[in-house]
Amino acid sequence: MNATKTRLAGKTIVVTGAAGGIGAAIVGRLEHAGAEVIALDRTSTAAPPVRGFDVTDAQQWRTLADGHAGPIHGLVNCAGITRRARLQEVTPADMTDTYAVNVLAPLLAIQTLSPLMPVGASIVNIGSIAALTAHYPVAYTTSKWAVRGLTHTAALALGESGIRVNIVHPGFIDTPMTASAPDAFRSASIGETALGRAGSVADVAGTVEFLLSDDAAYITGSEITVDGGATSHGGVKSISDALRTATTASSITKESA
């Protein structure tokens, strides 16, 4: 029997942002692992079935919870939006819009679904390497730092109920969200990545599957970067690369002298 096809068998898992790049990959991965997935997104789709749902609407979460029979074993808070304004240009609307989707919505989801969760259930928030750095878009970065805080608070609060809460921080992943960024953002991001490539949605989905599974039974309050090493060097990659270029140039000069 293929282990990956049964890893999440019997589990019901809610995924938000399910019509987006990373969310759709997570849904596919979880279904492949045997889970029954309740896929939610602002944009509903017929195939695969994604239910139209505004994650910022507390009443819609209440209706979902009240109308669901049986336990919920997992929740993936993947819906997210970005606003790219810098410090002096960011507006109050940028801040409230990003916080509503990236912070308030995961809180509402956790508040309404955790009472339906049995011991061993798992919640995965999708953060970002923006939550670990001084990434320039202020509204997005601060909202991701906030959901990181929510993750740790929820892990502590729900630990006594046997519910695990973790956060995954993707680096630069090719999706509709990043497709709207300038080309310079993509190339500079890859330039800071130890593995020298953009991440794929499958890279993130595999980590999420692991955290939802019983293989991660003793992991809670943890942060896992899926960033190709972009944050591990603390910003010194460009220095290292510059010195390598300088060293190579100087040895060529010496050899040819």
Active centre residues (catalytic): 140
Interface with ligand NAP, residue 22, by CB under 6 A: yes
**Residue selected from 76, 121, 126, 158 as contacting ligand NAP according to rule CB under 6 A:** 126
**Residue selected from 8, 35, 80, 106 as contacting ligand NAP according to rule CB under 6 A:** 80
Looking up tokens 């300038």 gives 182
Closest CA to 125 of 157, 89, 79: 79
**Residue selected from 39, 79, 108, 158 as contacting ligand NAP according to rule CB under 6 A:** 79
**Residue selected from 128, 193, 220, 231 as contacting ligand NAP according to rule CB under 6 A:** 128
Interface with ligand NAP, residue 138, by CB under 6 A: no
Name the phi and psi angles at 95, rounded to 5.
-65, -50
**Residue selected from 56, 166, 207, 220 as contacting ligand NAP according to rule CB under 6 A:** 56
DSSP-derived 3-state class of residue 176: helix
Q: How far apart are CA 79 and CA 218, in angstroms?
A: 26
Number of residues that bind ligand NAP (CB under 6 A): 27
Interface with ligand NAP, residue 173, by CB under 6 A: yes
Name the phi and psi angles at 41, rounded to 5.
-165, 155
Least Å from the CB of residue 72 to ligand NAP: 18
Q: Which is nearer to ligand NAP, 34 or 111 (CB)?
A: 111
Least Å from the CB of residue 132 to ligand NAP: 11
Cα-based torsion angle of the residue sequence 179, 183, 186, 187 in order, rounded to the nearest 10 degrees: 160
Positive or negative CA dihedral for 14, 15, 17, 18?
Answer: negative
Name the phi and psi angles at 56, rounded to 5.
-90, 0
Q: For residue 167, what is the enclosing H or E element?
A: strand 164-170
Q: Which is nearer to ligand NAP, 136 or 242 (CB)?
A: 136
Interface with ligand NAP, residue 20, by CB under 6 A: yes
Contacts of 62 (CB under 8 A, 6+ apart): 112
Give contact residues for ligand NAP (rule: CB under 6 A): 17, 19-23, 41-43, 53-56, 78-81, 101, 126, 128, 170, 172-173, 175-178
